[in-house]
Chains A and B, each alone.
Chain A
Amino acid sequence: MAVNFDLTTIWAFIIAFAVLMYVVMDGFDLGIGILFPTFQPGEERSQAMNAVAPVWDGNETWLVLGGGGLFAAFPLAYAIILPATYPLIIAMLLGLVFRGVAFEFRWRDPRHERFWDFAFFVGSLVAALSQGMILGALLQGIAIEGRNYAGGWLDWLSPYSLLTGVGVVVGYALLGAAFLAMKVTGRAEEHAYRLAVKAGIGTAVLMLAVSLATPLLARQYWERWFDWPNILFTSQVPLLTGILFFALFRSIAKRRRYRPFLLSLGLFVLGMIGLGISMWPFVIPDSITIWDAAAPERSQVFMLVGVAIIMPVILAYTAWAYWVFRGKVGSEGYH
Chain B
Amino acid sequence: MDLDPTAIVLARIQFAFTVSFHFIFPAFSIGLASYLAVLEGLWLKTGKPLYLDLFKYWLKIFAIAFAMGVVSGIVMSYQFGTNWSVFSDKAGGVIGPLMAYEVLTAFFLEAGFLGVMLFGMNKVGKKLHFAATLMVALGTFISAFWILSVNSWMQTPTGHVMSPDGRFLPGPSWLDIIFNPSFPYRLVHTVTAAYLTTAFVVGAVGAWHLLRDKANPHARKMFSMAMWMAALVAPVQIFVGDLHGLNTLEHQPAKVMAMEGHYRSYPDGAPLYLFGIPNEKEQRLDYAFGIPKASSLILHHDLNAPVRGLDTVPDDQQPPVPIVFWSFRIMVGIGFLMLGIGLWSLIARWRKRLYDWRALHRAALLMGPSGFVAVIAGWVTTEVGRQPYTVYGLLRTVDSVSPLAAPAVATSLAAFVVVYFAVFGIGTWYILKLMHKPPHTGETQPGEDETAPIRTAGITPGPTQNPHPQGGREAFPSPAE
Contact = CB atoms under 8 A, between A and B. Distances in A.
Interface of A: 41-47, 49-50, 53-55, 57-58, 60-61, 63-65, 67-69, 71-73, 75-76, 78-83, 86-87, 89-90, 93-94, 96-98, 100-101, 103-111, 113, 147-150, 152-153, 295-296, 298-299, 302-303, 306-307, 310-311, 314, 317-318, 321, 324-325, 327, 329-335
A277 B72 CA distance: 35
Nearest to A184: B474
B99 interface: yes
B481 A332 contact: yes
B457 A82 contact: no
Interface string B150-183: 0000000000000000000111101000000000
29 contacts: A42-B471, A46-B474, A50-B474, A54-B119, A65-B107, A68-B96, A71-B96, A79-B86, A82-B82, A83-B82, A86-B404, A87-B408, A90-B412, A97-B420, A100-B67, A104-B64, A104-B430, A107-B459, A108-B458, A109-B430, A153-B408, A295-B93, A295-B96, A298-B93, A303-B97, A306-B104, A321-B112, A321-B113, A334-B470
B190 interface: no
Contact of A54 (B116, B416, B460): B116
Nearest to A152: B405
Given A69-B100, A71-B88, A78-B81, A100 B70 contact: yes
Contact of B468 (A42, A75, A311): A42
Q: Is the interface of B mostly helix, strand, loop or mixed?
A: helix
A60 B474 contact: no
A90 B89 contact: no
B455 interface: yes
Given A86-B402, A94-B419, 20 more contacts: A61-B111, A65-B107, A68-B96, A71-B80, A71-B92, A79-B89, A83-B82, A83-B404, A86-B82, A93-B75, A98-B419, A101-B71, A108-B460, A149-B402, A152-B405, A306-B104, A317-B112, A325-B120, A331-B471, A331-B474
B155 to A, nearest CB: 20
A66 B115 CA distance: 22
B473 A57 contact: no
A88 to B, nearest CB: 10
B470 A43 contact: yes
Interface string B397-423: 000001111011001100110011001
B442 to A, nearest CB: 19
Given A149-B85, A299-B96, A83 B78 contact: no
B466 interface: yes
Interface string B431-472: 001100000000000000011010101111000011110111
Contact of B67 (A44, A79, A104, A307): A104
Interface residues of B, number: 90
Contacts of A153: 404-405, 407-408
Given A68-B103, A75-B93, A110 B473 contact: no
A79 B477 contact: no
A66 B157 CA distance: 26
Contact of A61 (B67, B89, B103, B170): B103
B402 to A, nearest CB: 5
Contact of A69 (B72, B103, B481): B103
Given A71-B81, A89-B82, A148 B403 contact: yes
Interface in B192-249: none
B115 A72 contact: no
Nearest to B412: A90
Contacts of B457: 107, 110
Q: Is the interface of A mostly helix, strand, loop or mixed?
A: helix
Contact of B107 (A41, A61, A149, A302): A61
Nearest to A318: B112
A87 B115 CA distance: 32
Nearest to A90: B412
Nearest to B71: A100
B405 A83 contact: no
Contacts of A78: 80-81, 85, 88-89, 92
Interface in B59-110: 63-64, 67-68, 70-75, 77-78, 80-82, 85-86, 88-89, 92-94, 96-97, 99-105, 107-110
B264 interface: no
A97 B419 contact: yes
A203 to B, nearest CB: 26
Given A60-B70, A107-B457, A306 B430 contact: no
B114 interface: yes
B423 to A, nearest CB: 6
A144 to B, nearest CB: 11
Contacts of A86: 82, 402, 404, 408, 412
B81 A96 contact: no
A99 to B, nearest CB: 8
Contacts of B78: 67, 82, 89, 93
B363 interface: no
Contact of A107 (B73, B105, B451, B472): B472
A75 B80 CA distance: 10
A46 B471 contact: yes
B311 to A, nearest CB: 38
Nearest to A303: B97
Nearest to B63: A104
Given A46-B468, A104-B67, A81 B81 contact: yes
Nearest to A70: B81
B284 interface: no
Contacts of B116: 54, 321, 324
Interface in B328-383: none
B186 to A, nearest CB: 21
A121 B382 CA distance: 40
B188 interface: no
Contacts of A334: 453, 455, 470, 474
Given A90-B82, A109-B430, A299 B93 contact: yes
B450 A333 contact: yes
